[in-house]
Amino acid sequence: MTDSTRLAAGDQAPPFTLSDQDGNAVSLADFAGSKVVVYFYPAAMTPGCTKQACDFRDNLSSLASAGYQVLGVSKDAPVKLKKFQETEQLTFALLSDTDLAVHTGYGAWGEKNLYGKTVTGVLRSTVVIDETGMVELALYNVKATGHVASLRKRLGLPA
């Protein structure tokens, strides 16, 4: 599989429908008229991904008060996402993209450097989509630690 094309501000966000942690279909279209933070992470219940998910959880009310909803996307199956949600008390939807179609469409799958080796995998990425379905901000190869604070700053939200 080759690197997917990265999105940029002003691009139309690719539509998607994925299963959430409860097996319910969730579509980007469900959020029309709302701002959405879609973040891609490598694997549920790993240290970095847990830290990042809990960071979003802990900032969810302030993001929501600024009009943003949060969706986490990984290649994990819904049953693993449900366990992750329950273990970490996550209060936002976790979406399963086992065939990597949405990862690829959003530029969150490709080559990366892991411990000095080039591997193909999930690129920790965040795409902010505005009320009209357009990309407001696309960030790639983000760090798990401190990402939400950095995102808030880029979006002009109070610390």
49 is a catalytic site residue: yes
pLDDT tens track for 46-86: 999 999 999 999 999 999 999 999 999 999 999 999 999 99
Q: How far apart are CA 79 and CA 7, in angstroms?
A: 29
Query: What pLDDT is attached to residue 4?
Result: 59
Q: How far apart are CA 1 and CA 4, in angstroms?
A: 9
Q: Give me the residues of the chain with pLDDT under 70, please.
A: 1-4
Which of these is catalytic: 26, 49, 95, 151?
49
Query: What pLDDT is attached to residue 82?
Result: 98
Query: What pLDDT is attached to residue 112?
Result: 84
- Taking CB atoms within 8 Å and a gap of at least 24, the contacts of 136-140 are 136/9, 136/35, 137/9, 138/6, 138/7, 138/8, 138/9, 138/11, 138/107, 140/6, 140/107, 140/108
